[in-house]
Chain A
Amino acid sequence: QSALTQPASVSGSPGQSITISCTGTSSDVGGYNFVSWYQHHPGQAPKLMIYEVTNRPSGVPARFSASKTDNTASLTISGLQAEDEADYYCCSYTSRGPYVFGTGTKVTVL
């Protein structure tokens, strides 16, 4: 099962908005509304930021939002803050199952 494709890095200044894409196939991202996003600070446990494409768990700031169109999911961080600097991974349920992660994106706050 090949990893979902994400950009290696995305950067932005504090207060700006950035978007991370996550591209898969009709067997994963495009076939199910089961995409989740994780924030991972090195040395810490990954943290769930979005589940089932658009849902934010309690405690996750509203500046994190997500969507999906066809085989591509996207995570947007609005009003970027210094503490948002981390690695971000998408994850999808897959028919070749059960889960496949994205390649990961390093977010840098300039």
Chain B
Amino acid sequence: EVQLVESGGAVVQPGGSLRLSCSASGFIFDDYTIHWVRQVPGKGLEWVSLISWDGGHTYYADSVKGRFTASRDNSKNSLYLQMSSLRPEDTAMYYCAKEISLLAVAGTGLDSWGQGTLVTVSS
């Protein structure tokens, strides 16, 4: 069974930093692109970032570009999102999600999601 488990969410002050983790199991981790998607409380889903299966491709939403960095450690079946210069508008539930197709950067969709980890940016 495919499982994705996020961790690392916390309350952080504006301008601060935080690292989210996503631990994966049940599939060949280093064959799949993994995405980060967030949901501001009471709002819709927003795609945030992706990192390809080998870490060779990363993409970011304009809203986080230059502040967030995705990375992965395939030896640990883990994915990370380093978040810096955090703003109140970054307050959201952050989900990691697996791309459907093997060795595809993006396009086919997201077939497995974690339960999310909550990030609150507030003084």
Q: How far is the CB of A101 from chain B (nearest CB, A)?
A: 4
CB–CB B108/A3 < 8 A: no
Interface size for A (C-beta < 8 A) is 26
Task: Provide the bound-state CA to CA distance between A45 and B116, in Å.
Answer: 7
Q: Is residue B55 within 8 Å, beta carbon to beta carbon, of the partner chain? A: no
B97 nearest in chain A by CB position: A46
0/1 string, A74-100, CB within 8 A of B gives 1: 000000000000000101010001111
Q: List 18 A-B contacts (CB under 8 A).
A: A1-B62, A34-B109, A36-B109, A45-B95, A45-B115, A46-B95, A48-B100, A51-B100, A51-B108, A52-B109, A57-B111, A89-B44, A91-B45, A91-B110, A93-B107, A97-B106, A104-B44, A104-B45
Residues of A within 8 A of B (CB): 1, 3, 32, 34, 36, 38, 40, 44-48, 51-52, 57, 89, 91, 93, 97-104
